[in-house]
Chain A
Amino acid sequence: MNDAADTPVLRARGLRKEHGEGEGLVRAVDEVDLDIGPGETVAVMGPSGCGKSTLLHLLGGLDRPSGGEVWLNGRRIDDIGEKALARLRRTDIGFVFQAFHLMEELTAVENVELPALLAGRSPRAARRRAEELLERVGLAGRTRFLPSALSGGQRQRVAVARALSNEPSIVLADEPTGNLDSAATLDVLQLFEGLHESGQTLVIVTHDARIAATADRMISMRDGAFVDETRLTGGTTGRLGALIGLED
């Protein structure tokens, strides 16, 4: 554990991203330094438009920075080719989006096995893994459903299962509960806590203080830069449930 803690899973130095030019120039991410250790859960908070999503996209290789560096597991990823980046996304990074972004024409289990098939696993192994994951997120009975037949919370759980498909070193979640009501939010929250406990490295962008409260570390952003960082003792489901009064 200690040894691994020395090499961060994710490291960013002087990370910058600008949109537009001249008068319309926006510094969405402005000189950010960040280290995320193995097994750590980091929450990123901040007002709308402060650059949270942009930061997450840069960290996950979905977007290219205007400047600065990103390392994943000690390997620099901001300057590698599109193909290598795609391979990296399928093996080392799991994304969870606010809008779920499931393939509408694929069933739940087919959506979950997508990254495994992309990574070249055998169809049989991919299916077995996908079914396990769906069971883990509590959707064992819904594996053959199309996304359109699932509730928002269920869709997001499918998306989480998909993100875990290839045992990524880090899961990046962008407002995973942004489109959910409070009951569904609690489901997804418990899921993330389970991940945290199992040692999964996590970055969660959120507007929701209750979710941030479950993290090891909470970072506040404003105008593209980090303005505050708080180390928390770590939340549990119980405490969280008590906090929002939804414990059953």
Chain B
Amino acid sequence: MGRILLVGRLAVRDLRRRRAEAALLLLAIMAATTTLTLGLVLRDAAGDPYQSTRAATGGPDVVASTARAAGLPGVTAPAKPAGLAGVAELEELAGAPGVVDHSGPYPVTAAELQASGRTSDVQAVGRDAAPASVDQPELLQGGWVVDGGVVLEAAFARALDVRVGDPVTLDGRSFEVVGVAVTAAMPPYPKASCVFPCMNGAVPDGEPPAGLLRNPGLVWLTQADVRNLAPDPDSLAYVMNLKLADPAGARAFVDANGEDGGAPPMRTWNDILEDATELAGDSQILLLIGAWLLGLLAVASLSVLVGGRMADQTRRVGLLKAVGGTPSLVAAVLLAEYVLVAVVAAAAGLAAGSLTAPLLTESGAGLVGSAGTPSITASTAGSVTAVALAVAALATIVPAVRAARSSTVDALGDSARPPRRVGWLIAISARLPVPLLLALRVAARRPRRAVLAVASIAVTVSGVHVLLVLNAFLADQPLAGGYDDAQVEVLRRALLVVTIMLLSLAAVNAVVITWAAVLDNRHSSALARALGATPREVSTALAAAQVLPALAGAVLGVFPGGYALFAAINAATGGDGDRATLPAPWQLLALVLATVLVVAALTAVPARLGARRPVTETLQAGLA
């Protein structure tokens, strides 16, 4: 009891004594946990609505149709509908081994829908008024099909801004919208499966082949209405929904009843899931890349923070050991401090992540679960907390092991870790003006920290470089990836979130590194001032010591950092880098200059605060 109190007290007091450092540590871990939360929530958001839609609608394991796929890239162009001949094939399939239930075949016709001035191609499926056991679309609004009434797929209704009660026309005939529903038998608009020859997404140059549906929406009518709409019975296509004894074996079922043997084309529920969640998948890739970059930055700032405190911690540890603290107690004290920060950072990251997530998922309409805010599952909360704790544990291992190993006497006598001296840097610096001379010496004292500063800026700049490329790509060719405007908007937001996080964490890093340098150099700065350097020269030197690595980092971040990162992303996503426009040279130059200026501005504040401290106070503090 007493020992727990002690461990808690030491942790809390130490954090309180260094509020600024604790806050920076918190920010660094929080940026990583927030991004991780977003990534995980998005992963759930991608999978869950489809699963719940599938459960709510008795979703099929395999959808078979009478259409046949052709091999045009980007175009699913079946041969002309097989008419009644195909129906027999479908019915045969319903009796295949492994099929436990089915609905259909249902007739499908292609039509042009007009609603409040907008026109779109649709595939209209004729359904029975009675509910089916397989694929009975779940109504979000209104009722199910009646003669003269049309039910729209939810994402399509949303894109057209059509509601229940609105009048629409199909090939010129009037219908009333009686319902809006979701299904798991087809991906939501604009990713519909092509029962008729159709294409989704980008419009290639030149006229599309005649009769090709473009971004068709899905609507349901009564079977009678579909037959009436069709110009002749032979132009009808048919779809059938199959339920298998083993849903996981859907792929195997399709292979066994092979498409090439003249059997009807089939899609498994996994195929549909992939299409339905493609957008969320793309946003998730962006966030995961972001999380990686942020993770690297967080590690850099943690190393600086933990490293900067090592000397101080060693003294505390020596003291605890001298009054009888065992090695495990000492480790507990060190760990408790970072665990506290990590737990708060995990909670804050989960909160921030779940607040931002709706921005990235809201246009995934067309599935049951996507209407509400994506919620945080226990597994997401668990993973985020675990990662935060792992970071805390990593930050503690080195000092804890050192503490257990170090001689108590040495620890007590320990002044700061003796700075390294890099001889040639000091030799060069002797020929320079005072601030630059001091700056180089500051950097030379802690070469590892200078390397971290360079790395941190390089990571940030290469991230920004890639974001510029992606942004230009989305601006130039919004439909290139098969995205509509709303989806481009979502990807933009994902980019924005990553950019903001990246820049904030980079800013935190710059401040952390400068502050560590200020603390580290306060004694020599005070001495320099005691020997006649002005506070301005000293603070300029400290800021310059950060700006030099920033310049190096910015240049490295553009080349090779940015190019390498972009290539890696293309490799990971199977993307096509040739279509991307690389930033212009002036943009890159501006990026480097802006980085240096921002770092200079950011570091000026702590550097000045550090240089302002009275000389005597600093020199005396060095003695204690």
A119/B324 in contact, CB under 8 A: yes
Contact A87:B322 (CB < 8 A) given known A57-B409, A122-B1: no
B13/A105 in contact, CB under 8 A: yes
Within 8 A of A (CB), among B164-216: none
Q: A231 contacts the other chain (Cβ, under 8 Å)?
A: no
Q: A162 contacts the other chain (Cβ, under 8 Å)?
A: yes
B322/A95 in contact, CB under 8 A: yes
Q: Which residues of chain A are within 8 angstroms of B409 by Cβ–Cβ distance? A: 57, 62-63
Query: Which stretch from B2-10, B108-116, B567-575 is at the chain A interface?
Result: B2-10
**A78-109 to B contact mask, C-beta < 8 Å, 1/0:** 00001100111111000101010101111000
A118/B323 in contact, CB under 8 A: yes
Q: Which residues of chain B are within 8 angstroms of A116 by Cβ–Cβ distance? A: 2
CA distance A62 to B328 in the complex (A): 17
Q: B155 contacts the other chain (Cβ, under 8 Å)?
A: no
Within 8 A of A (CB), among B524-561: none
Partner of A86, one of B14, B321, B407: B321
Residue of A nearest to B326 (CB): A86
Q: Which residues of chain B are within 8 angstroms of A26 by Cβ–Cβ distance? A: none
Q: Output the least CB separation between A231 and chain B (Å).
A: 30
CA distance A105 to B6 in the complex (A): 12
Q: B99 contacts the other chain (Cβ, under 8 Å)?
A: no
**A90, A115, A121, most chain B CB atoms within 10 A:** A90
CA distance A117 to B10 in the complex (A): 12
B412/A87 in contact, CB under 8 A: no
Q: Which residues of chain A are within 8 angstroms of B2 by Cβ–Cβ distance? A: 116-123, 126
B319/A118 in contact, CB under 8 A: no
Contact A117:B323 (CB < 8 A) given known A57-B409, A63-B408, A97-B412: no
Q: Which residues of chain B are within 8 angstroms of A95 by Cβ–Cβ distance? A: 322-323
A105/B323 in contact, CB under 8 A: no
Q: Which residues of chain A are within 8 angstroms of B325 by Cβ–Cβ distance? A: 86, 90, 118
Q: A77 contacts the other chain (Cβ, under 8 Å)?
A: no
B6/A62 in contact, CB under 8 A: no
Partner of B327, one of A86, A104, A119: A86
A105/B326 in contact, CB under 8 A: no
B14/A90 in contact, CB under 8 A: no
Residue of B nearest to A121 (CB): B2
Q: Which residues of chain A are within 8 angstroms of B10 by Cβ–Cβ distance? A: 103, 105-106
Within 8 A of B (CB), among A29-88: 57, 62-63, 82-83, 86-88
B16/A89 in contact, CB under 8 A: no
Residue of B nearest to A124 (CB): B2
Q: Which residues of chain B are within 8 angstroms of A87 by Cβ–Cβ distance? A: 324, 326
Q: Which residues of chain B are within 8 angstroms of A103 by Cβ–Cβ distance? A: 10, 316, 319
Q: B17 contacts the other chain (Cβ, under 8 Å)?
A: yes
Contact A105:B1 (CB < 8 A) given known A57-B409, A87-B324: no
Q: A114 contacts the other chain (Cβ, under 8 Å)?
A: yes
B interface, how many residues as a size bin? 20 to 34
Q: Which residues of chain B are within 8 angstroms of A123 by Cβ–Cβ distance? A: 1-2, 5
Q: Output the least CB separation between B411 and chain A (Å).
A: 10
A110/B408 in contact, CB under 8 A: no
Q: Output the least CB separation between A41 and chain B (Å).
A: 22
Q: Which residues of chain B are within 8 angstroms of A63 by Cβ–Cβ distance? A: 407-409
Q: Output the least CB separation between A181 and chain B (Å).
A: 15
CA distance A103 to B13 in the complex (A): 10
Q: Output the least CB separation between B210 and chain A (Å).
A: 80
A62/B322 in contact, CB under 8 A: yes
Contact A105:B17 (CB < 8 A) given known A62-B408, A121-B2: yes
Residue of A nearest to B410 (CB): A63
Contact A82:B327 (CB < 8 A) given known A118-B3, A122-B2: yes
**B8-27 to A contact mask, C-beta < 8 Å, 1/0:** 01100110110000000000
**B25-38 to A contact mask, C-beta < 8 Å, 1/0:** 00000000000000
A89/B327 in contact, CB under 8 A: no
Residue of A nearest to B318 (CB): A101
Contact A101:B322 (CB < 8 A) given known A82-B327, A118-B329: yes
Q: Output the least CB separation between B423 and chain A (Å).
A: 23
**A181-203 to B contact mask, C-beta < 8 Å, 1/0:** 00000000000000000000000
A-B CB contact pairs (8 Å), 23 listed: A63-B407, A63-B408, A83-B326, A83-B327, A83-B328, A86-B326, A86-B327, A89-B321, A89-B324, A90-B323, A97-B322, A99-B624, A103-B319, A105-B10, A105-B13, A117-B5, A118-B3, A118-B6, A119-B2, A119-B324, A120-B3, A121-B2, A162-B323
Closest 10 CB pairs of A and B: A90-B324, A105-B13, A117-B2, A89-B324, A86-B326, A117-B6, A105-B17, A62-B408, A63-B409, A83-B326
A-B contact sample (19 more), CB < 8 A, given A62-B321, A62-B408? A63-B409, A82-B326, A83-B327, A86-B324, A95-B323, A97-B322, A97-B412, A101-B318, A101-B319, A103-B10, A105-B16, A110-B9, A115-B324, A118-B2, A118-B323, A119-B324, A120-B2, A123-B1, A123-B5
| Residues of B bordering A, CB below 8 Å | 1-3, 5-6, 9-10, 13-14, 16-17, 316, 318-319, 321-329, 404, 407-409, 412, 624
